[in-house]
Every structure is written in structure tokens, then in C-alpha cells.
Amino acid sequence: MNSQTHNGKLAVQMEDATHCLADLARRGLRIATVEIGKLPKPRIVLDAPYLEPGGLKGGMMRSSDKRTCYATDHRHCQVEWEVPA
């Protein structure tokens, strides 16, 4: 992949992440991590140990005996959070 195309995709992901982060902040949610450039969409992990943080509804992504991870697409980003099982 040439660098100009890659830089353009990163710029789009940065813009998408900025809009998503602003909306999540308006909902009063805390952000644990943000990953840009590793996946086709920005990945945002919330520090929100409850089922529907800020009104977000997600599908179960993975589960273990101790924790269940939920994820949803929100404003062109993948938003994830973990809930105690």
C-alpha cells in the first residue's frame, strides 16, 4: 500500500474517531483505549462495566467465566466494553 493512500485512510479514521469520542464524552462515558489504523474502523474500548453504557446496545462479542465483552458500531467506530459475568 502506498503511503499516500495509507495516510488518507488514517486521516479518515482519525476524523471518525474524533466524532465518536465527542459523542461518547457527551454521554458521560470514560474511554479506556483507542486504536487507529489496526482495523478497518477505529476501535474504542470503554471503561464501563455495565450492560448498556450511555444507552449503547451491543451484541456479545466474546465471553468467559468472569467477563463478557460487548461491541457495537457507533459513528463508524467499533465500540467495546466488558461486563462482569
For every residue of 49-72, DSSP letters joined together read -SSSGGG---EEEEE-SSEEEEEE
* Tens of pLDDT, residues 37-59: 999 999 999 998 888 998 998 88
Q: How far apart are CA 5 and CA 20, in angstroms?
A: 23
* Tens of pLDDT, residues 54-83: 899 888 888 888 989 999 999 999 999 999
Q: What are phi and psi of 42, to 5 degrees?
A: -60, 145
pTM of the full structure? 0.87
Cell of 16: 471518525
Q: How far apart are CA 63 and CA 36, in angstroms?
A: 24
User: Considering just the CA atoms, what is the radius of gyration of the chain in Å?
Assistant: 14
